[in-house]
Structures are given as C-alpha cells and as structure tokens.
Amino acid sequence: MNWLNKIRWTVDGLIPVIAQQAETGKILMFAWMNAESLQLTVQEGYAVYWSRSRNKLWHKGEESGHRQKVVALFMDCDEDVLLLKIEQEGGIACHTGRESCFYRQLVDGQWQAVEPVLKNPDTIYKKHE
C-alpha cells in the first residue's frame, strides 16, 4: 500500500501540518499540504506546502531563503495531522520576521506580541506589484 493512502485527507485533498524545531521542540508554524507537496517534501528533504490563499505549491523559503530542512515526519493517531520536525534555516519561520508564527499570547484579555521581530520583513521579501 502506498504510504500516501494511509493519510485521511480533507475533502479538499489537504492535511494540516505542524512544523516543529527539531532541536528545541518549539512549534514554529502551521500550514497545509496536498499529496503533491507532501511527495515533494519527502523527495527533496525540504518543506513544500500548499498555499490556500495563492492556490499553489509553496516551497518554504523560496523568497526569503528561510527553508525548512526536514529531520523527521510523523502522522498522528487519527491519520489526519502531520508533524514535521525541521531545522529552520535562518532562524525565522514567520513572514513577520519572527522565529515562530505563534508569537502572540493572550494576556489579561489582550493578544500581546511576546517574541521580537528578528528581521524586518521589508528586507526579507520583495515587493509585489
């Protein structure tokens, strides 16, 4: 049986994916994959996601250089969520220039940024017109 057939894909043919820093265990981001992006991730050894907003494959770091080298790939017990243990190149996973996309914490009923911007996003990404 093909390993892809074990996955319980959504009706849209996607699976949620959590990216975790292999060395520290810190959760860096959440994204989606389809069968093609998952196959490319396994073949290339670097994370390739499916961008729902752009409706296309998204090679993580293709513009920023902040690629995610896959150390291990896990599937949960319900076969409907994947966990990528990765080495984050450049130390920045978030498009806001932070280490993690999970940088806001609920404090006294307000969402507060609790992680610093490591690099200004304007210097990371090209302007699209």
Q: At 51, which amino acid appears?
A: S
Enter the DSSP assignment of 101: S
| Res 128: pLDDT | 47
Q: At 26, which amino acid appears?
A: K
Q: At 128, which amino acid appears?
A: H
User: Is 68's pLDDT higher than 50?
Assistant: yes
Residue 120, both tokens: 């200004």
Q: Are 125 and 95 in contact (CB under 8 A)?
A: yes
Which tens digits make up the pLDDT trace of 71-98?
999 999 999 999 999 999 999 999 999 9
- Helix (H) or strand (E) segment spanning residue 39: helix 35-44
| Res 87: pLDDT | 98
Average pLDDT over every residue of 17-23? 98
Residue 15, both tokens: 């699976």
> Where do the DSSP E strands lie in 1-129?
15-21, 27-33, 48-51, 56-59, 68-75, 82-88, 104-107, 110-113
Which tens digits make up the pLDDT trace of 111-122?
999 999 999 988
Give the predicted TM-score (pTM) of the model: 0.90
Query: Which domains can be identified in the chain, with CATH numbers?
Result: 3-124 (3.10.20.810)
Average pLDDT over every residue of 27-42? 97
| Res 1: pLDDT | 54
